[in-house]
C-alpha cells in the first residue's frame, strides 16, 4: 500500500470526527509514529489521539471508520499473488492467534490511565508463572510485556486464552469487575474490527 | 412452632422401636379439622412460592452472565432439598428425640396419618427456605455441583438438627432448647439465622469475587443486572411470608389475624427504618437496600409475631431495617463478599428478631430469664450453623473443589456451568466465546 494512499485513507477515516488543525495534527502524528506500523497499531494511534487531539466520539467508531477507509485500498498481497493461497498465509494462521491475543491485551492496557496500565502490565509479569509453561514461552511473553518485543515462539491457543484471562483478572484487581467486563467487551470489538481480515477470530480467546 | 407446648399432646410419643425406615407416623394423633389441613396446605404452597421470590431477588442482584446459574441453584436446591428432607431431615428434626439433640425415627416416611402428611409437607417447604438462603450469598463464583452438595447437607443435617433442638419433636421427646423455653414461633433463628450462618461460612470459604475489593480493601460496587426482578422478588417473598408465619399456627384459628398484622407491620417498618436511617446518614435510599430491609423486618418478626403486640412488631421491624443497612458495611469491612446481603438480612436480623421475641413477650416484657434463653438459642445457632457449614464447605473445597476458576468468572457461570445464557438476544456484553454455546 502506497504511503500517500494510506495517508488519504487515514484522513478520510478521521474526517467525520476531526477537522481543521486537530485533523492536521492527527495526520502529522500518524506520519511520524505510525505510518510504518501494521494495522494493529491503529489502536495505539487512536488512543494517542484521545489523549492529545481532543477526540470525543467512541473509540470503536473512530477505529471502525479508519479500518473501513484502509480496507478500501487495494491489497498488495492479493496483487502480488493473485487469488492463490500462498503457503506463508497458512503459516500465518498461528501467528495470527498470537497477534490477536497480544493486540487484545495491548488494547486492554492502553485503555487505562498510564499508572494503572503499568500496574496491569506488572501484574501480568508477576503472575506469568501461573501459566505453567516452559521457560522459553514465559521468556518470550515477558520480553513482549516489558519491551514490546515481537513473539517468535509458538504458543498454544489454550495458553493465549489464559493470558487474556490473566489480563482480565488484573483489570478486575485494578479497575473492579464491572469496568473489567466492559473493558474486555469493548476491547474485543476494537480488535475484531482491527483484525477483520485475520483467520483467527478474537472471540476464540475468550 | 417450638413455643407452643399445647402441640405436644397432639403428637404423642412414637414407639422407640421405630427408629429407622418407613414407619407409620403418630397413628393415634388427635384429629385436625379439615380447615386446619386446608390452611396449612395453602400456607405450605405459599412458603414454596418463596423459592420464586428468592430466585428473582438473587437473580436480579447477580450480573447478567450469572443469572441462569442463580436461578438453577434456587430451582435445584428446592428439588434436592425436598428429597433429602423427606429421606433424613424430617426424621432428624421431628423424629423421636430421646436425647434432646436430634430425632431418631420417621426417616423416609411412607405411611402416615393425613395430618402428618400435611405437617411433613409444610416442614419440607421450611427446609427448602433455609437451604436456599445461602445460594445468593455465594453467587457468581461457586461450582454448581459443590453448591448442591452443600444444599444437601444443609437440608439433611444442619437445618434439621438445629430444628430438633428448638422445635423437636413431633414424634415424641423434646429438643433441649425447646425444653429451656426458647421462643422462635416460625423460625427467625431456626430457618433464617441457620441459613444465614451457612451463607457466611460459604462466603468465608469461597472468598470474594474477582476484584470485589480493591488493593486497599475498599469495597467496589457490583450492581445486579435487573432491579425490576429484585423488587418483584421482594414482593413475592413478602406475600409468601403470610403463609410462612400464618401457617405456623398449624391450626386455622383466631390467632392468625394478629400474626399476619404483625408480619406485615414488621416488613413495613423494616423498609421505613432503613429509609429513615439512610436519610439520616445523608445517603440515597436504594431500592436493593429497601427491599432487603423489608425482608430483614420479616425475618425479625418471624420469631415473635405470635407473642408480641403490634407496637413492638413495628419496633422490631424498625431496628431490623437499621441492621439490614449496617450489616453489609460490616461484612465489606471483613472482606466477606455477600452478593445479596443474605447474611445481614437472614442471620443478623434473625438474631435481633429472636432476642426481640424474648424482650417483647406479651404480658412478660423484658424478662431477663427469657432473654438469656433466647441468647443461648442464638449462640447455639451461630456455633452449630457456622461451624457445621464451614466444615462442610471446607471438605467440599478439598475434595471436589468449590471455587470456580478465574476463566469461569470471566466467562460467567451461565456459560461455563450450564452452556446457556439468560438473555441470548439482548446480552451483548459477552466475555465468552458465543460459538461454544450448547456444546
Distance, CA of A18 to CA of B85 (rounded, Å): 68
Q: Are B57 and B234 within 8 A, CB to CB?
A: yes
Distance, CA of A166 to CA of B41 (rounded, Å): 53
Share of residues in chain B with pLDDT > 90 (%):
85
Which of A96-105, A143-152, B392-401 is the least confident region? A143-152
Does residue B228 carry a pLDDT above 90? yes
Q: Is A6 or B283 the better-scoring residue by pLDDT? A: B283
Distance from CA of A35 to the nearest CA of B (A): 32
The 3-state secondary structure of B59-116, one letter per residue: HHHCCHHHHHHHHHHHHHHHHHHHHHHHHHHHHHHHCCECCCCCCCCCCCCCECCHHH
> How do residues A27-41 score in pLDDT, each as one tens digit?
888 888 888 776 667
> Which pLDDT score, from 0 to 100, does residue B392 have?
98
> How do residues B191-223 score in pLDDT, each as one tens digit?
999 999 999 999 999 999 999 999 888 999 899
pLDDT band at A111 (very low <50, low <70, confident <90, very high): confident
> Which pLDDT score, from 0 to 100, does residue B21 have?
39
Does residue B23 carry a pLDDT above 60? no
pLDDT band at A95 (very low <50, low <70, confident <90, very high): confident
Measured between CB atoms, does A178 come within 8 Å of chain B? Answer: yes
Distance, CA of B259 to CA of B189 (rounded, Å): 17
Helix (H) or strand (E) holding A81: helix A76-81
Find chain A residues with C-beta within 8 A of B430's C-beta: 185, 188, 203, 206
> Which pLDDT score, from 0 to 100, does residue A87 have?
31
Does residue B17 carry a pLDDT above 70? no
Q: Does the beta-carbon distance from A180 to B211 stay under 8 Å? A: yes
Q: What mean pLDDT comes out for the span B304-327?
A: 98
Q: Does the beta-carbon distance from A181 to B221 stay under 8 Å? A: no
pLDDT band at B14 (very low <50, low <70, confident <90, very high): very low
pLDDT band at B8 (very low <50, low <70, confident <90, very high): very low
Q: Does the beta-carbon distance from A203 to B411 stay under 8 Å? A: no
Between residues 34 and 53 of chain B, which touch chain A (CB distance below 8 Å)? none
Q: Is B404 or A114 the better-scoring residue by pLDDT? A: B404
H-only helix segments in B176-334: 176-180, 194-206, 227-246, 256-280, 287-304, 310-333
Domains of chain B and any CATH numbers: 34-416 (1.10.3430.10)
Q: Are B313 and B301 within 8 A, CB to CB?
A: yes
Top-confidence range, A26-35, A135-144, B145-154 = B145-154
**Average pLDDT of chain B, as a whole number:** 91
Q: Which of B211, B407, B434 sits opposite A173 (nearest CB)?
A: B211
Measured between CB atoms, does A162 come within 8 Å of chain B? Answer: yes
Q: Are B92 and B84 within 8 A, CB to CB?
A: no
> Which pLDDT score, from 0 to 100, does residue A71 have?
65
pLDDT band at A93 (very low <50, low <70, confident <90, very high): low
Which of A7-21, B122-136, B155-169 is the least confident region? A7-21
ipTM of the complex: 0.84
Per the DSSP assignment, residues forming a β-bridge with B142 are B403
Which of B203, B206, B45 is CA-nearest to residue B133? B203
> How do residues B175-185 score in pLDDT, each as one tens digit?
999 999 999 99
Q: What is the DSSP letter of B402?
A: -
Measured between CB atoms, does B216 come within 8 Å of chain A? Answer: no
pLDDT band at B333 (very low <50, low <70, confident <90, very high): very high
Q: What mean pLDDT comes out for the span B66-73?
A: 97
Distance from CA of B421 to the nearest CA of A (A): 15
Distance of CA B439 to the CA centre of its chain: 35
HSE at residue A144, side-chain half, CA atoms within 13 A, is: 21
Distance, CA of B259 to CA of B209 (rounded, Å): 40
Q: Is B209 or A22 the better-scoring residue by pLDDT? A: B209
> From A178, which residue of chain B is nearest by alpha-carbon distance?
B222
Does residue A73 carry a pLDDT above 90? no
> Which pLDDT score, from 0 to 100, does residue A6 have?
83
Question: E-assigned strands of B113-192?
Answer: none
Domain range annotation of chain A: 3-76, 85-205
pLDDT band at B116 (very low <50, low <70, confident <90, very high): very high
Measured between CB atoms, does A63 come within 8 Å of chain B? Answer: no
> Which pLDDT score, from 0 to 100, does residue A63 have?
78
Per the DSSP assignment, residues forming a β-bridge with B403 are B142
> Which pLDDT score, from 0 to 100, does residue B198 have?
98
Amino acid at each position: 500500500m502506497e504511503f500517500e494512499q494510506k495517508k488519504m485513507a487515514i484522513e478520510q477515516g478521521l474526517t467525520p470526527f476531526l477537522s481543521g488543525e486537530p485533523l492536521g495534527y492527527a495526520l502529522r502524528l500518524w506520519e511520524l509514529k505510525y505510518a510504518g506500523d501494521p494495522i494493529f497499531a491503529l489502536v495505539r494511534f487512536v488512543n494517542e489521539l484521545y489523549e492529545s487531539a481532543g477526540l470525543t466520539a467512541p473509540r470503536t467508531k473512530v477505529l471502525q471508520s479508519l479500518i473501513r477507509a484502509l480496507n478500501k485500498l487495494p491489497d498488495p498481497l492479493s496483487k502480488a499473488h493473485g487469488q492463490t493461497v500462498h503457503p506463508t498465509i497458512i503459516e500465518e494462521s498461528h501467528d495470527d492467534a498470537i497477534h490477536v491475543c497480544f493486540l487484545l491485551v495491548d488494547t486492554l492496557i492502553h485503555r487505562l490511565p498510564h499508572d494503572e496500565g503499568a500496574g496491569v502490565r506488572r501484574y501480568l509479569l508477576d503472575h506469568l508463572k501461573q501459566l505453567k509453561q516452559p521457560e522459553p514461552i514465559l521468556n518470550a511473553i515477558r520480553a513482549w510485556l516489558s519491551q514490546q518485543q515481537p513473539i517468535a515462539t509458538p504458543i498454544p491457543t489454550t495458553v493465549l486464552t489464559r493470558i487474556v484471562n490473566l489480563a482480565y483478572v488484573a483489570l478486575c484487581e485494578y479497575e473492579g469487575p464491572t469496568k473489567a467486563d466492559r473493558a474486555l467487551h469493548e476491547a474485543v470489538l476494537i480488535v475484531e474490527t482491527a483484525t477483520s481480515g485475520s483467520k483467527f477470530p478474537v472471540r476464540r480467546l475468550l | 412452632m417450638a413455643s407452643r407446648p399445647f402441640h405436644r399432646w397432639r403428637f404423642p410419643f412414637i414407639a422407640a422401636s421405630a427408629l429407622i425406615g418407613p414407619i407409620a407416623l403418630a397413628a393415634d394423633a388427635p384429629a385436625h379439622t379439615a380447615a386446619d389441613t386446608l390452611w396449612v396446605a395453602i400456607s405450605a404452597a405459599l412458603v414454596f412460592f418463596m423459592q420464586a421470590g428468592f430466585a428473582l431477588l438473587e437473580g436480579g442482584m447477580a450480573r447478567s452472565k450469572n443469572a441462569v446459574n442463580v436461578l438453577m441453584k434456587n430451582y435445584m436446591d428446592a428439588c434436592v432439598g425436598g428429597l433429602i428432607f423427606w429421606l433424613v431431615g424430617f426424621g432428624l428434626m421431628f423424629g423421636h428425640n430421646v436425647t434432646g439433640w436430634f430425632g431418631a425415627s420417621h426417616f423416609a416416611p411412607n405411611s402416615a396419618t393425613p395430618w402428618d402428611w400435611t405437617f411433613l409437607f409444610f416442614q419440607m417447604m421450611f427446609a427448602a427456605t433455609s437451604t436456599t438462603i445461602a445460594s445468593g450469598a455465594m453467587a457468581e463464583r461457586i461450582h454448581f455441583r459443590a453448591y448442591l452438595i452443600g444444599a444437601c447437607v444443609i437440608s439433611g443435617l444442619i437445618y434439621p438438627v438445629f430444628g430438633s433442638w428448638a422445635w423437636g419433636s413431633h414424634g415424641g421427646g423434646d429438643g433441649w432448647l425447646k425444653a429451656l423455653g426458647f421462643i422462635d414461633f416460625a423460625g427467625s433463628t431456626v430457618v433464617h439465622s441457620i441459613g444465614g450462618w451457612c451463607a457466611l461460612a460459604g462466603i468465608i470459604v469461597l472468598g470474594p469475587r474477582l476484584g470485589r475489593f480493591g488493593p486497599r480493601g475498599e469495597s467496589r460496587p457490583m450492581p445486579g443486572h435487573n432491579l425490576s426482578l429484585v423488587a418483584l422478588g421482594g414482593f413475592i417473598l413478602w406475600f409468601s411470608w403470610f403463609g410462612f408465619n400464618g401457617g405456623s399456627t398449624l391450626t386455622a384459628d383466631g390467632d392468625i389475624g394478629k400474626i399476619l398484622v404483625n408480619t406485615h407491620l414488621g416488613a413495613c417498618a423494616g423498609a421505613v427504618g432503613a429509609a429513615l436511617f439512610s436519610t439520616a446518614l445523608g445517603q440515597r435510599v436504594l431500592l436493593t437496600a429497601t427491599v432487603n430491609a423489608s425482608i430483614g423486618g420479616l425475618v425479625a418478626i418471624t420469631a415473635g409475631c405470635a407473642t408480641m403486640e403490634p407496637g413492638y412488631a413495628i419496633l422490631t421491624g424498625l431496628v431490623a431495617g437499621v441492621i439490614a443497612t449496617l450489616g453489609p458495611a460490616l461484612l465489606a469491612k471483613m472482606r466477606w463478599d455477600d452478593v445479596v446481603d443474605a447474611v445481614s438480612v437472614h442471620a443478623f436480623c434473625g438474631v435481633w428478631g429472636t432476642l426481640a421475641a424474648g424482650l417483647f413477650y406479651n404480658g412478660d416484657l423484658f424478662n431477663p430469664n427469657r432473654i438469656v434463653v433466647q441468647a443461648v438459642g442464638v449462640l447455639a445457632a451461630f456455633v452449630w450453623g457456622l461451624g457445621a457449614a464451614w466444615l462442610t464447605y471446607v471438605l467440599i473445597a478439598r475434595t471436589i473443589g468449590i471455587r470456580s476458576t478465574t476463566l469461569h468468572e470471566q466467562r460467567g457461570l451461565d456459560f461455563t456451568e450450564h452452556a446457556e445464557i439468560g438473555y441470548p438476544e439482548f446480552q451483548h456484553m459477552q466475555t465468552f466465546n458465543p460459538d461454544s454455546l450448547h456444546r
